Amino acid sequence: MNYQEILEKLKIKISPLLEEEDTELVESNLSWGKSCLYLKLLVDKKAGRINLEECAKLNERISNLLDDLDIIKERFILEVSSPGIDRPLKTKNDFLRARERKVIVFLSDTVSGKKEFEGTLKDIDDEFIYLEVKKEVIKIPFEKIVSAKQTL
């Protein structure tokens, strides 16, 4: 089983546990360190702003679950942490959570002659985000967004 298959299987298995804690998986990564695998899970409350104590509790619960499931055959270290303020924005729910906050957006194609925008996320709908940049609202299609994250 390759790393992507392992991550997909893990996601399915830990989803009920995350749901119980009103949290969601933001990002996952499995990679080799010096002597073992590292499983890094970025999690957040559905409403945002998970704290250190909640991450520690999830780390313990997920670790126990993974020990029981025995999906990862090699020795590994689990790290459950918050995505922090510069959390990647991938889903429409991520964008909704970031409304009225500063974000940076990178595009595959130009909008108003630019491929990168930084501003305040004002609104979203099914097809667009509306970003206020220097008192002007820019309408950006989701399909052109390569990556985006919340900033300070």
* One-character DSSP codes across 25-50: EEEEEEEE-SSSEEEEEEEEETTS--
The CATH number linked to 30 is: 3.30.300.70
User: pLDDT tens digit string along 86-99?
Assistant: 778 888 888 988 88
Residues 64, 109 share a domain: no
Establish if 136 belongs to a structural domain: yes
Strands, E, within 35-143: which ranges? 37-45, 76-81, 102-111, 114-124, 128-133, 136-141
DSSP 8-class letter at 88: B
User: Do both 68 and 100 map to the same domain?
Assistant: no
Same domain, yes or no: 96 and 71: no
138 plus 117 within the same structural domain: yes
Asked whether residue 67 falls in the same domain as residue 116, the answer is no
Q: Do 52 and 101 reside in the same domain of the chain?
A: no
Q: Which residues span the domain enclosing 123?
A: 92-150
Residues 38-88 have pLDDT tens digits of: 999 999 988 778 899 999 999 999 999 999 988 888 889 999 999 887 778
| Structural domain contains residue 58 | yes
pLDDT at residue 83, as a whole number:
83
